[in-house]
Structure 1
Amino acid sequence: MENHGHRNHSRPISSEAASQYFHHSSAKRTNTDAILARALKKQYPALHLSIVLARTVNIFAYASSGLATFTEIEDDTGEGGVPASLRQKSFMPPAKRDGGSTGAVLRTPTFSKFLYMYKEDEFIVYLVKAQDGMYDVEETYYILSPDEAKTDALIQAAGLWGSVLHDEIWVFDGGYWRKDAGLYASVMKASWEAVILDQDMKNAIIDDHLSFFRSRSTYQDLKVPWKRGIIYYGPPGNGKTISIKAMMHTLYKLTPEVPTLYVRSLTSFLGPEDSIKKIFFRARQFAPCYLVFEDLDSLVSDSVRSYFLNEVDGLQSNDGIFMIGSTNHLDRLDPGIANRPSRFDRKYLFPDPNLKERIAYCHFWQAKLADNKSIEFPDKLCEAIAEITYDFSFAYMQEAFVAALLAIARDERAKDGDESSSDDEYGVATVDLADEWVGVVDQHPASRDDVDLEHLKLWVEIKKQIEILREGLKEQPENKS
C-alpha cells in the first residue's frame, strides 16, 4: 500500500474527511455516510471504501483479542483550524466506594483515524460516531484498502469471531442482546453438589435436561418438534436461581456445549413485542440452546401474552430450544402458559426445605465458622436450629444467621470498646446475598455435643432473630409452604 500515500505517516496529509465531517456536523445533518464517502474518495482516490456498522462487526474488539492490531494516526488538517480527530472525555467513578480506587478518565473517540493491520495487510480505518435525524448515534467504520476482497476477508473474520461467545453469556436487557462475562464467571462457580435439594428431584431435573439435548434423533423419529419447556415455582429463596445456574454450568460442559440465552427484561424503546421477536430470533439462531426467563410472571404480562405464545408455538420452528421459566407466584401465570403442554411441559415445585435440608444448611454455617474461635457451633446446634426454622426458606434461614452474627459482633465490639473490628471476623461479610441460596459442604468438623445450648451465644441470639422473622411470616401467609 506504499503507493497510496499512507505508509509514510511522518509526511502530513491534508484531511479532506476531517474538514467535511466538522463542516457537516456544524450544519443541518443529512447523511453522514454520503458526506464522508465523497470526502474519502477525494482524499484517497486509489483506495476502495467499505462502510461497516460497528454494531454488526466490531473490528476493534476483534483486534483486542490479539488477532489484529491498530494504531491511531492523525492527518494534517491544514490551516482551517479543524482538529484531525475528536474525542469525548468522561469520568468513570470507582466500582466500589471503599475499594481504594480513585476512578478513571475515559477518552472515547468520536472521529478518529487508525492504521489497522490484519495478517500482512494494512487498512486505513476511520471510526466515526454520528447521528442522522431522529435516530440514535451510530458508530461506523470507514475502511480503506486497495483490495476490496481483503477488506471483505477482514469483515468476515471479525464478524464470525464476534458472533460466537468467548467465556460469556448472551443477556437480553433494554431491548438488545449483549455478552456478559460476569454472569458466565458466576455460572462457572455453580454446581449441583452445592444445591440443597431432594436428591430424587435433583436427579429428575438433570435427566430432564440432558435427555432432551441427547434425544434429537428420537424426536425426529417420532415426528414431534424437538423443543421443551419447564417451570420452576415455589416460595422465594429455595434454590430456583442456583438450580438454573447449576444447569447452565452443566450444559456448558457438554460436547458440544449448549449455550444459554438469559432474558433479564422485555422493556425497550420499541416495546416488549419487539423484544420477544428479537429473543426468539436469537434463540433459533443459536439452537440447540437454553433459553432462560427468570420471574416469568413479571416478564410476560397480559399485554404481551398472546405475542409471546405465538412465538412459542406459532408457525416458526423452535427446534432445539429448551425454555426454562421461574416464578414465585404460579397463580399469577396465565393458564395458557402454566397449564398447556407443548409450551411449558412440566413444572417443578421448590418448596420450603424439610428438616433434613435445614440441618444440611446449618452444617454449611458450621463449616463456615469453623475457624472462628469465639463462636461455638456443635452438631447439636445444627439440629436445634433446624427444629425451630420450620416454614423457613433458605433465604429466611440465611437472614437469621446473618442477623444473629451481626448482633454478636456488635455486642463483642461494645464489650471490648473496639469499634474498628470487622464483621468478617464472624463470617458475615463473605456471604453472597445476591443469590437465593448458599451452598453446603459435604464435610463438617466433628464437635462435642455435651454442651448446654443455652450457654451458646449463637443459639441465644439466633432464637431472637428467628422469632422476629417468624412474626414477618405471620404477616405474609402466602410465603408459607
Structure 2
Amino acid sequence: MNMQLKQLILEALSLPNNAISYHVRRRLAEMYPQKALLETSDFNFNITRYAKANLCKIQHNQSNYNQIISGWNGIENRIYNFTKNGHFEVISQENKLEVISMKWQEAYCQVNYHWIIADNKEIAENFFTAVCDWNSEIQDEILVFQNGYWSRDPKLFESIRSACFDTLILSGTLKQDIQDYLGRFFASQDLYEYYGVSHKCGILFTGPPGNGKSHTIKAIINEMEVPCLYVKSLKSRYDNDHYSIQQVFERARETTPCILVLEDLDSLILEESRSLLLNELDGFADNTGIVILATTNYPKRIDEAILKRPGRFDRIYKFDLPTVEERIKYITLWNEEFKSEMCVSKTDITQIAQKTKGFSYAFLKELIISSMTIWMEEREIGKMNKIIISQVDALKKQMTSLTA
C-alpha cells in the first residue's frame, strides 16, 4: 500500500493539471475500497493550523516520502516548514484518519488539494466540518484578499493594534460622527431585525491622500472588535474580476458581523466587473451584518451608480487637508512625545502650523521625522524650531514638484 501511495503522487504530478485530482481520487478509491473518501480544495481545510491549536494530533506517515518545504521568516528570524506533498496520520476525537495533501501550480496560483480517508462517511465529514469551521473564524489576524484568494495576515493585524482614535486628529466632529455611527450599527442588530430594517451599511472615505483615511480604518478595526476582511486586489488567476468579487462577498457573508475594507475603491473596479459589484453591494444577496468600508483619493473616477445611489454607500465622509488649528494639535502631539532637549515652544508650534498651509498629515509627519533626523546629527538644544522651519521650505518644493 505504501509503495502504491508513493507511486500515486509521482504519477499524479506528471499529469496535466486538470487531470491530477481525478486521477488521485480514482486511485485512492481502488486502494481503499472499504473506506470513505472526502476530497477538498477548500481554503479553510488547514489541518496544520488546526493541530497547532491542539484540536487534533497529526504526524507524517514516515513510510511514505513527505516533501517538506522550508522558508525563512526574516521578521521573526526563524525557519518555518510546510508540507507540499505528503501523507498525514490524524487522531481526532479518538478517530483515526489519514489525509493525503498535494499542491501544484495552476495558472497564477498554487492549488491545495486534500483527500480525507476515514472508516466511514460520517467521521470524514465531521472532521472536515470541524477543521473548516474553526479555521473560518478570524482570530487575532486579518484576512487579506489578493491574487484571487484569501490569506491570513497576523502581522498586518499586529501592525494596526497601536492605532486608536485618541491619536487621530480630524476636522470638526468627523471622528466622533464615525465612532457614533459604527458603534450604534454594531450594537443594534436585534433592533434592526425586530423592526424589519436591513442590518447592513456602506461607508466611503474620500479626500486627498495622507489625511487620515487609513489611520481611521485601523482605529475602527481596533475599537469595534469585529473581524476584518481586507481587499488588496480583485485580480485573479481567471483574468477577470468576477470570480474575485464573488469570493470576497461570499466570505464576508460567512464571517458576519464583519468589516469589509475596499481600499482605493477606484482602482479595484474595472468596467467589465462593474455590474457584478453593483449587484453584490445592493442586489438580491443578503449582506446582513456587513459594514463595507471603502476609501478613495479620487471620487471622480468612481461611477455615480456606486457613489450616489442610496443603499450602496449610506455615509460618505470627506477627509480634507488639516486646518491651522488641526495642524497645531498634530504638531503638539508629536512635541509631547519628544525628549525634553528636542522640544519646541507653543509659540514655535503655532509658527510652524501657520507655515505649513496645504500640508497633509502625511507631509506633516515627514516634516517632523526628517527634522528629528537632522537634529540628532548635531543634538543642539534650542535648534529644533529652526530645523523644522528649514524643512518646511524643502517639503514645499517637493510638494510643488509632485503637483507639477
TM-score above 0.5, yes or no: yes
The residue type equivalent to 1:405 in the other structure is M
Where do 1:298-309 residues align within 5 Å?
Answer: 298-309=267-278
| Distance in 1 between residues matched to 2:109 and 2:300, nearest whole Å | 40
CA distance 1:86–1:14, shift in 2 (3 Å): closer
- Verify: 1:122 aligned to 2:96, yes or no: yes
C-alpha displacement at 1:221, in angstroms?
6.0
Where do 1:312-461 residues align within 5 Å?
Answer: 312-371=281-340, 373=341, 375-410=342-377, 412=378, 456-461=382-387
C-alpha displacement at 1:395, in angstroms?
1.0
- Verify: 1:175 aligned to 2:148, yes or no: yes
2:388 corresponds in structure 1 to 462
C-alpha displacement at 1:245, in angstroms?
1.3
Aligned partner of 2:118 among 121, 145, 154: 145
Aligned partner of 1:189 among 147, 162, 165: 162
The residue type equivalent to 1:239 in the other structure is G
CA distance 1:464–1:164, shift in 2 (3 Å): same
| Distance in 1 between residues matched to 2:396 and 2:15, nearest whole Å | 67
The residue type equivalent to 1:260 in the other structure is C
Q: TM (normalized to structure 1)? A: 0.74
Structure 2 residue runs without a partner (length 5+): none
Asked if structure 2 preserves the Cα contact closer than 8 Å seen for 1:17 and 1:39, the reply is no
| Distance in 1 between residues matched to 2:8 and 2:180, nearest whole Å | 63
Listed one character per residue, the Cα deviations across residues 226-269 of structure 1 (whole Å, up to 9, x for unaligned) are 332222112211111111111111221xxxxx322221111112
More helix by share: 2
Asked if structure 1 preserves the Cα contact closer than 8 Å seen for 2:69 and 2:84, the reply is no
| Distance in 1 between residues matched to 2:107 and 2:363, nearest whole Å | 49
C-alpha displacement at 1:466, in angstroms?
0.5
- Verify: 1:63 aligned to 2:51, yes or no: yes
- Verify: 1:247 aligned to 2:215, yes or no: no
Listed one character per residue, the Cα deviations across residues 410-443 of structure 1 (whole Å, up to 9, x for unaligned) are 4x3xxxxxxxxxxxxx8xxxxxxxxxxxxxxxxx
Which range moves more in the overlay, 468-477 or 275-284? Answer: 468-477
Q: What secondary structure does 1:304 align onto?
A: helix
Larger Rg: 1
CA distance 1:25–1:264, shift in 2 (3 Å): closer
| Distance in 2 between residues matched to 1:24 and 1:323, nearest whole Å | 42
| Distance in 2 between residues matched to 1:226 and 1:331, nearest whole Å | 28
| Distance in 1 between residues matched to 2:149 and 2:2, nearest whole Å | 40
CA distance 1:243–1:37, shift in 2 (3 Å): closer
Structure 1 residue runs without a partner (length 5+): 1-12, 76-83, 253-257, 413-425, 427-453
Q: What secondary structure does 1:166 align onto?
A: coil
1:262 corresponds in structure 2 to 230
| Distance in 1 between residues matched to 2:292 and 2:18, nearest whole Å | 44
Q: TM (normalized to structure 2)? A: 0.87
C-alpha displacement at 1:407, in angstroms?
2.6
C-alpha displacement at 1:286, in angstroms?
2.5
1:113 corresponds in structure 2 to 87
Which range moves more in the overlay, 378-387 or 162-171? Answer: 378-387
| Distance in 1 between residues matched to 2:266 and 2:126, nearest whole Å | 45
CA distance 1:199–1:182, shift in 2 (3 Å): farther
| Distance in 2 between residues matched to 1:145 and 1:87, nearest whole Å | 23
| Distance in 1 between residues matched to 2:385 and 2:18, nearest whole Å | 73
Aligned partner of 1:157 among 120, 126, 130: 130
- Verify: 1:228 aligned to 2:201, yes or no: yes
| Distance in 2 between residues matched to 1:168 and 1:177, nearest whole Å | 12
Aligned partner of 2:245 among 273, 276, 284: 276
| Distance in 2 between residues matched to 1:358 and 1:282, nearest whole Å | 40
| Distance in 1 between residues matched to 2:310 and 2:67, nearest whole Å | 55
Asked if structure 1 preserves the Cα contact closer than 8 Å seen for 2:61 and 2:88, the reply is yes
Which range moves more in the overlay, 397-406 or 133-142? Answer: 133-142
C-alpha displacement at 1:462, in angstroms?
1.4
Q: What secondary structure does 2:53 align onto?
A: helix
CA distance 1:187–1:365, shift in 2 (3 Å): closer
1:447 corresponds in structure 2 to none
The residue type equivalent to 2:67 in the other structure is R
The residue type equivalent to 1:202 in the other structure is K
Listed one character per residue, the Cα deviations across residues 202-226 of structure 1 (whole Å, up to 9, x for unaligned) are 2111111122233345545665433
1:290 corresponds in structure 2 to 259
Asked if structure 1 preserves the Cα contact closer than 8 Å seen for 2:163 and 2:218, the reply is yes
The residue type equivalent to 1:468 in the other structure is A
C-alpha displacement at 1:31, in angstroms?
4.1
The residue type equivalent to 1:139 in the other structure is N
Asked if structure 2 preserves the Cα contact closer than 8 Å seen for 1:17 and 1:36, the reply is no
The root-mean-square deviation of aligned C-alpha atoms, in Å, is 3.1
